[in-house]
Amino acid sequence: MPPKKRNTVVSQSKEPKPSAASVSPDKKEIAELSFKKHRDKDTEFVTLCKSLHVTDLVCDNAWMLWKTIQDSVEELNDSQKSLWGSCLFASVTDMDIACFTLTQLLKAVSLNVKEFLALVRKLDVNMDTISTKVNAALSSLEKKYDVMLALYQRFEKTCKSVFASVSDKEKEIIRSCWTMFLLAKGRALQMEDDLVISFQLLLCTLEFCIKRCPPELLQPLYKSAISKVHNPPARAARRSQSKAKSRPPESEVDLQLLKTLCKENDCNSEEVKNVYQTSFSAFLDSLDLSGAPHFPQGKGLDQQYEQHYLRSRDFDGRLFLDGDATVLAPKVDLSQVERTPKKMSEEDNTLIPPQTPIRAAMTSIQQLRGDLTSSGDQPSTHLATYFKNCTVDPTQDVMKRLETLGEAFSQRFGQAVGPHCVTLGRQRFNLGVKLYYKIMEAMLKSEEKRLSVQNFSKLLNDSTFHTSLLACALEVVMATYGESSFKTGGYNQGSGDAAERNMCFPWILDVVNLAAFDFYKVIESFIKADPTLSKDIVKHLETCENLIMERIAWRTGSPLFELLRQEHEGGTAEQVETPASFSQPLQHNHTAADLYLSPVRPGLRVLPPETSPTSTTQASSQPPAQPASQPARPLKSNSLSLFYKKLYRLAYTRLKMLCSHLLFSHPELEPIIWTLFQHTLQHEHELMRDRHLDQLMMCAMYAICKVKIVDLRFKSIVTAYKNMPNTSQDLTDFQASVLTTEGNYDSIIGFYNLVFIAEVKNATSMQDLTVPQHSSPIPQIPRSPYKFPNSPLRVPVSSNVYISPMKSPRMSPGIMTPRSRMLVSIGESFGVSNRFQKINQMVNSGDRSFKRSLDLGSTPKPLKRLRFDMDGQDEADGSKSGGDSALIQKLAEMTSTRSRVQEQKMKEDAESRREKP
């Protein structure tokens, strides 16, 4: 009779424990470095290379990189050894040679993860030395570290609530549990920086370990949760065990314990259960631990994780247990933390706990799932009625499309996240379907109210509309779960496995085979149709829209080029968006239904004042009839016009910021540069094909500076651009990977010389663009086309003044303005006029706690608009207010604004009475 198999963890590979050097793909290059071969290099540098087991080739390349940057490092306050480590990291990453792990490098140069990442990026910004590959590796490492740190902090907190004491026995269990989780995450997930699924795997690991602990080691809450499970089987039951030996053991999940863990960690127990039954069970099977009654041996887990850590070449997650200096959390400088108003509950005025990454993620997920509780995975009765009212019922097409796209999404999700995550992908898709139905119904109700019709046959039978709406819903779901971001600048890089694992936007467009320009049409209407969307999700969708405008919509094959071609053939190419409307607010009445149903509408030809005769106004959906003698009006695309409206405003916002960094001493150049920039977008849009909006912006800036004989180099432009917020941080996208001719790439200087300046000179005279009469009007830049009603907004002239909409009439003034004795609510009745007199008395009193100096002899000039409507800008009339005199300015604005609102309302009421018969 063969011996019984022991339930212990052993390494599945019989190979000896690997060293850092043994990971290298080329064993011939592992020979130890010879000091004689590298006599031309610094001895300490060669010693560092020798300690990290680098190859001769890596040593040579890293030294060449060091010599390149050596002249510029004096301005960096870092040790020479740390900089050598940065050069070695960049070299092995570019060459894809596995010589050492990140942890081994960090220990060799005495840096922690955050310090090292900041140092490499500092080299990149100041010396332009880091390639796309290295930059992507830095981003990946940073996100993986941030996720690991958040997970360990939550693990440490949970263990304190689970275990009754911290004896050697508990420490051993905690160490084995954490190591088991690290191994499970490494084997089950391809995307190891997925915070939500990683956290759910951590709860699964805790459930597995806790129920195998002696009850006396546990706190009462968890002791009671497992008190009725894993009792010894009765004698009668043992007789049937032999019959079940042929069946593989099933991974048993203790639902009561799992629910307790999930409740204590604000996590959905059904989702964690599904992760357990798919990914975690497969991991247990790989270790032969399914159904094992005993706790696994820590030594075997440690050996297997060692192999994974050496293969991954990043940091050792076990070091969190030891408080190792290389993985220490960065200290937060409280003086650098922005002081924002503390939110309090209405009932007990208690402070809301600080938002940790995991708490924020769980809160967002709970909010999304809560908002969709009443939504089903089938059309509601109201939505089904809309379908039936159509001339052609779209129900069958909708169902068939969802089935096809659901299968594609779940399979691609599994490829990106992990081999056992297809079921999780189906769950994400089902949530997206619920949101898709919810938003569709809201849109149709809005259209019914706007148009007074109930038959939307053309819209509801438009496949592009449905696919766009579904894609937007899925993007919201993935962003809520943290599975979609913009780390690569908004477009996937590379190919093969790396691209498959990258779920950053626009990954979803590739999954559902949707053009980015079509996706853009639904974003604004989607946001307006769902007021429950969080501020973060709204910002995410707004960023998606910006990425589409700045690059993705300009890829070859985009329908945007076909629309532009039609505009050219129709004779209206110069009027895609009239410059005369730049000074007008970004307002329009186009809904998604309008953009999908009627992509081309008649344009109304009007000659605006002080503009060229070739200009036309924005397209009107219902223009007045024209006399028969006039020629037929050209067709105009609403979707294209709106696209260009937003494109121009985005372009000018970027340009204004860059000019403020580089040309603050030459303010007269900004309108000239904008004129050239706008000219290229309007007349030379082929320059945007397979390129980036900001590439044209930098070329326009360089060209005008050359004409005006202002010394500005491309390197300075690129460096300043990289320091700007909300821009692509992929330097080589602008320095060495700019498309010149078909299939050929060059630096941005090469693009400028070979393509940009030649195209612009052929189309127009550069000198003509610098004439003031030919300058393009400056677009009016809104704070954001989307509103965030639940977020306090800072008043630009003050660092501690915020405004917030009235959230509840029951909220007391003391809660909303805890440091004042008077509440001012704009837009609501203020009461009797003597309240303004009380405010004036308070301001003019001798109480200097509210003011230090007031110019009582001057009356503040009311502004044209509230300053806090223009986020980050000065007053609308250009005036500056200093010190606490801003308080008087604010009160004057409130009074002036309220009076104007009342006057406008009286005029509207009078006009409405006159219109009534």
Domain boundaries defined on the chain? 43-130, 141-228+252-322, 357-550, 638-763
Between 482 and 891, the higher pLDDT residue: 482
pLDDT tens, residue by residue, 142-155: 999 999 999 999 99
Does position 373 have pLDDT exceeding 70, yes or no?
yes
The predicted pLDDT at position 832 comes to 57
Take residue 505 and report the two structure tokens written for it.
């936007």
Q: Which CATH architecture has domain 638-763?
A: Orthogonal Bundle (1.10)
Which of 114-123, 413-422, 722-731 shows the lowest mean pLDDT across its residues?
722-731
Helix (H) or strand (E) holding 637: strand 635-637
Between 766 and 578, the higher pLDDT residue: 766
CA distance 366 to 372: 10
**Ranges 419-423, 470-474, 882-886, most confident:** 470-474
* Average pLDDT for 166-188: 91
Instruction: Name the DSSP class of 28.
Output: G
Contact 692, 734 (CB under 8 A): yes
Take residue 797 and report the two structure tokens written for it.
């002239």
The predicted pLDDT at position 485 comes to 80
CA distance 356 to 528: 29
Q: Taking Cα atoms as reference points, which of 553, 489, 522, 548 lies closest to residue 685?
A: 553
Between 780 and 179, the higher pLDDT residue: 179
With a pLDDT cut of 90, the percent of the chain lying above it is 41
**Ranges 322-326, 630-634, 911-915, most confident:** 322-326
* Average pLDDT for 480-486: 85
CA dist 263 to 164, 255, 260, 349, Å?
Answer: 19, 12, 5, 24
CA distance 674 to 880: 26
Bridge partners (DSSP) of residue 738 are 746
- What are 330-334's contacts with CB under 8 Å, separation 24+? 330/112, 330/114
The predicted pLDDT at position 79 comes to 83
Cβ neighbours around 599 below 10 Å, total: 17
Cα 235-5-308 angle, rounded to 5 deg: 130
CA distance 826 to 803: 10
Q: Taking Cα atoms as reference points, which of 832, 835, 822, 826 lies closest to residue 868?
A: 826
Take residue 146 and report the two structure tokens written for it.
């941030």
pLDDT tens, residue by residue, 33-54: 777 788 888 899 999 999 999 9
Contact 240, 228 (CB under 8 A): no
Does position 681 have pLDDT exceeding 90, yes or no?
yes
* Average pLDDT for 466-477: 97
The predicted pLDDT at position 592 comes to 79
CA distance 330 to 142: 13
The predicted pLDDT at position 765 comes to 64
CA distance 901 to 877: 20
CA distance 571 to 873: 39
Q: Taking Cα atoms as reference points, which of 365, 188, 183, 181 lies closest to residue 265?
A: 365
The predicted pLDDT at position 907 comes to 67
Between 259 and 870, the higher pLDDT residue: 259
Does position 78 have pLDDT exceeding 80, yes or no?
no
End-to-end CA distance of the chain: 103
Cα 43-45-46 angle, rounded to 5 deg: 65
pLDDT band at 522 (very low <50, low <70, confident <90, very high): very high
Do 141-228+252-322 and 357-550 come out as alike in CATH topology? yes
The predicted pLDDT at position 598 comes to 57
Instruction: Give 3-state DSSP helix, strand, coil % of the chain, rounded to 5.
Output: 55, 0, 40
pLDDT band at 864 (very low <50, low <70, confident <90, very high): very low
CA distance 126 to 557: 37
CA distance 536 to 365: 12
Which of 93-97, 358-362, 380-384, 804-808 shows the lowest mean pLDDT across its residues?
804-808
Q: Taking Cα atoms as reference points, which of 79, 178, 179, 89 lies closest to residue 133?
A: 89
CA distance 884 to 538: 35
Q: Does domain 141-228+252-322 have CATH number 1.10.472.140?
A: yes
pLDDT band at 354 (very low <50, low <70, confident <90, very high): low
Which of 66-75, 457-466, 736-745, 782-791 shows the lowest mean pLDDT across its residues?
782-791
CA distance 253 to 278: 12
The predicted pLDDT at position 895 comes to 54
Contact 404, 398 (CB under 8 A): no
- Residues near 254 by beta carbon (within 8 Å), at least 6 away in sequence: 207, 211, 225, 226, 229
CA dist 372 to 185, 379, 528, 728, Å?
Answer: 30, 13, 17, 34
* Average pLDDT for 596-600: 62
The predicted pLDDT at position 824 comes to 55
Find the length of the chain: 917
CA distance 898 to 884: 22
**Ranges 69-78, 79-88, 487-496, 812-821, most confident:** 79-88
Q: Taking Cα atoms as reference points, which of 597, 610, 605 lies closest to residue 627?
A: 605
Q: Which string of b and e fits 682-693 if b means at least 16 CB within 10 Å?
A: bbbbebbeebbb
Q: Taking Cα atoms as reference points, which of 551, 480, 495 lies closest to residue 520?
A: 551
Contact 439, 529 (CB under 8 A): yes
The predicted pLDDT at position 300 comes to 85
User: At 602, is the secondary structure helix, strand, or coil?
Assistant: strand
**Ranges 129-138, 199-208, 587-596, most confident:** 199-208
Which of 27-31, 451-455, 609-613 shows the lowest mean pLDDT across its residues?
609-613
Between 879 and 426, the higher pLDDT residue: 426
CA distance 860 to 261: 60
Between 3 and 774, the higher pLDDT residue: 774
Phi/psi for 794 (5° steps) reads -80, 140
The predicted pLDDT at position 189 comes to 87
Cα torsion angle, 47, 48, 53, 56, sign: negative
Phi/psi for 472 (5° steps) reads -65, -40
- The tokens 């909010």 sit on which residue? 367
The predicted pLDDT at position 22 comes to 40
Contact 355, 363 (CB under 8 A): yes
Contact 493, 733 (CB under 8 A): no
Q: Taking Cα atoms as reference points, which of 562, 554, 586, 813 lies closest to residue 689?
A: 554
* Average pLDDT for 596-621: 40
- The tokens 């910004």 sit on which residue? 125
Contact 470, 407 (CB under 8 A): no
Does position 740 have pLDDT exceeding 70, yes or no?
yes
* Average pLDDT for 742-750: 85
CA distance 315 to 721: 31
What rounded mean pLDDT belongs to the chain? 75
Q: What is the DSSP string of 742-773?
A: TT-EE-HHHHIIIIIHHHHHHHS-HHHHTSGG
Angle separating helix axes 357-371 and 132-162, nearest 10 degrees:
90
CA distance 314 to 305: 13
**How many CA atoms lie less than 13 Å away from 623 in the CB half-sphere?**
18
Take residue 65 and report the two structure tokens written for it.
């990189």
User: At 368, is the secondary structure helix, strand, or coil?
Assistant: helix
Q: What is the largest CA-CA distance in the chain?
A: 106
Does position 855 have pLDDT exceeding 90, yes or no?
no
CA distance 289 to 415: 25
pLDDT tens, residue by residue, 292-302: 777 777 788 89
Contact 539, 681 (CB under 8 A): no
Does position 709 have pLDDT exceeding 60, yes or no?
yes
Take residue 91 and report the two structure tokens written for it.
């070299």
* Average pLDDT for 236-250: 40
The predicted pLDDT at position 680 comes to 92
pTM, entire model: 0.76
For domain 43-130, which CATH number applies: 3.40.50.300, 1.20.1440.130, 3.40.50.720, 1.10.472.10?
1.10.472.10
CA distance 779 to 581: 8
- Residues near 360 by beta carbon (within 8 Å), at least 6 away in sequence: none
Q: Class assignment of domain 357-550?
A: mainly alpha
Contact 801, 795 (CB under 8 A): yes
Does position 138 have pLDDT exceeding 70, yes or no?
yes
Contact 728, 738 (CB under 8 A): no
The predicted pLDDT at position 242 comes to 42
CA dist 247 to 237, 250, 296, 388, 421, Å?
Answer: 16, 9, 22, 51, 24
Does position 791 have pLDDT exceeding 60, yes or no?
no
CA dist 644 to 17, 652, 685, 701, 776, Å?
Answer: 60, 12, 11, 21, 14
The predicted pLDDT at position 291 comes to 72
The predicted pLDDT at position 842 comes to 63
